[in-house]
């Protein structure tokens, strides 16, 4: 190890220059960007009272930040999407403390991507080893139950599993662009029945006098962001009985600082905004995040959250549309089941071996589920097709 390198745990990204942080993640993946994560902190969506306490691992060489991983001490398991409720319950029944745990993740964001950042030109293997050792020492010192890395990309997942972390699977649904030039090209790839169904659903939205507009972040004003937050709260109140994890301040900061990564599909009826979906994007992927509406309109959710996004990906030449966690109804709209992962390291306990067996059984169950889901896709032919790359 280079002698001058030092490890620091920081409880706020304000301790790090934005350019230094962003330089570690040589990608336009939006969720590791300094402004995305800092808006969560300064907006109060994470921090005191939320159960998400920032505790980011950073490595420095002199005054230069050379590696980091966003990390949070958790006092609960909400907002993770790759949930561990069964393990929490087992610890409680055994009289063991499961919290705090350390989660290497993007809060409230089940989107695969980089979790460990290393400055270009530095020795990645050395720095990954140094970060993993620092994590191990932190777990021992604070007697954390576990370290959980949620939704890492493939390369980092392989590194973690090689270091002894246990992989755990999840199934999500992702639309892939097989070189479509127009939305009708996508429809032509579907079975006749599903093609007619989607056309009927889109027509019902039009017949209701609803029109959708694409609003890029640079064109979204404060009033639109306030309405987006209102929609977000309505959705959570209906689904979960609470107003959601995110604050209005976080929404407005995203609008101010991440305009180049934001796409909004806004639905209007008689010039009134009645619904919208908020997405982020990279150079090759659209990420669906939040949706809400003033009242229920037939098929408007599908139009704003799926069909408008698919049409946008085709128009922009994006390879994928990750529309968020869960939702088997996505299958019938051309979203394919894909495997996502978490990687876990548990402190020794009487339950450790049982957790390993639980993960193995879960993997078998999810593999079967994914095969069954694949068989339900509406495509006329998919096996010989290749997505854009």
Does pLDDT of 3 surpass 70?
no
Phi-psi region of 320 (alpha: psi -120 to 50; beta: other; left: phi over 0): beta
The 10 Å CB-count burial string (b at 16+, else e) for 11-50 is: eebeebeeebbbbbbeeebbbbbbbbbbbbbbbebbbeeb
Q: What is the DSSP letter of 335?
A: P
How does the average pLDDT of the chain come out, rounded?
95
Mean pLDDT of 283-303: 96
Higher pLDDT, 358 or 3: 358
Residue 389: what pLDDT?
62
One-character DSSP codes across 98-121:
--SEEEES-TT----B--SEE-TT
Question: pLDDT tens across 69-123, in order?
Answer: 999 999 999 999 999 999 999 999 999 999 999 999 999 999 999 999 999 999 9
Residue 4: what pLDDT?
85
Mean pLDDT of 295-305: 95
Task: Say if strands 320-322 and 285-293 run parallel, antiparallel, or are unpaired.
Answer: parallel
Alpha-carbon dihedral of residues 323, 329, 334, 340, nearest 10 degrees?
50
The CA distance from 213 to 353, in Å, is 53
Give me the percent of the chain exceeding a pLDDT of 90: 92
Does pLDDT of 384 surpass 50?
no
Mean pLDDT of 242-246: 94
Judged by DSSP in three states, 40 sits in: helix
Cα 222 to chain centroid distance, Å, stands at 25
Mean pLDDT of 190-199: 97
The burial class, CB within 10 Å (0-12 / 13-18 / 19+), for 78 is middle
């Amino acid at each position: 190890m280079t002698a001058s390198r030092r490890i620091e745990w920081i409880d706020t990204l304000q301790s790090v220059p934005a350019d230094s942080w962003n330089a570690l993640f040589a990608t336009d993946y939006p969720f590791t960007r300094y402004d995305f994560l800092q808006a969560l902190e300064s907006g109060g969506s994470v921090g005191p009272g939320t159960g998400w306490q920032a505790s980011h691992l950073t490595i420095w060489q002199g005054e230069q930040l050379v590696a980091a991983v966003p990390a949070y001490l958790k006092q609960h398991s909400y907002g993770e999407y790759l949930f561990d409720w069964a393990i929490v319950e087992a610890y409680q029944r055994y009289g063991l403390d499961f919290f705090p745990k350390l989660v290497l993740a993007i809060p409230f964001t089940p989107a695969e991507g980089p979790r460990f950042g290393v400055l270009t030109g530095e020795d990645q293997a050395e720095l990954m080893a140094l970060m993993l050792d620092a994590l191990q020492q932190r777990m021992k010192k604070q007697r954390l139950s576990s370290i959980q890395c949620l939704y890492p990309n493939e390369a980092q997942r392989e590194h973690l599993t090689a270091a002894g972390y246990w992989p755990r699977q999840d199934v999500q649904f992702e639309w892939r662009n097989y070189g479509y030039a127009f939305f009708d090209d996508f429809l032509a790839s579907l079975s006749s029945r599903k093609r007619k169904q989607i056309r009927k659903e889109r027509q019902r939205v039009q017949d209701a006098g609803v029109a959708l507009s694409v609003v890029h972040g640079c064109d979204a004003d404060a009033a639109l962001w306030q309405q987006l937050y209102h929609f977000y709260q309505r959705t959570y109140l209906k689904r979960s009985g609470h107003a959601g994890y995110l604050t209005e301040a976080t929404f407005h900061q995203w609008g101010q600082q991440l305009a180049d990564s934001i796409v909004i599909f806004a639905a209007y009826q008689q010039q009134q905004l009645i619904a919208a979906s908020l997405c982020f994007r990279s150079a090759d992927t659209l990420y669906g995040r939040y949706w809400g509406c003033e009242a229920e309109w037939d098929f408007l959710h599908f139009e704003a959250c799926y069909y408008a996004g698919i049409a946008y990906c085709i128009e922009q030449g994006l390879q994928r549309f990750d529309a968020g966690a869960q939702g088997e109804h996505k299958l019938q709209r051309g979203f394919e089941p894909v495997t996502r992962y978490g990687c876990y390291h548990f402190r020794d306990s009487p339950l450790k071996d049982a957790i390993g067996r639980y993960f193995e059984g879960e993997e078998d169950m999810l593999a079967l589920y994914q095969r069954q889901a694949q068989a339900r896709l509406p495509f006329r032919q998919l096996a010989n097709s290749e997505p854009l790359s």
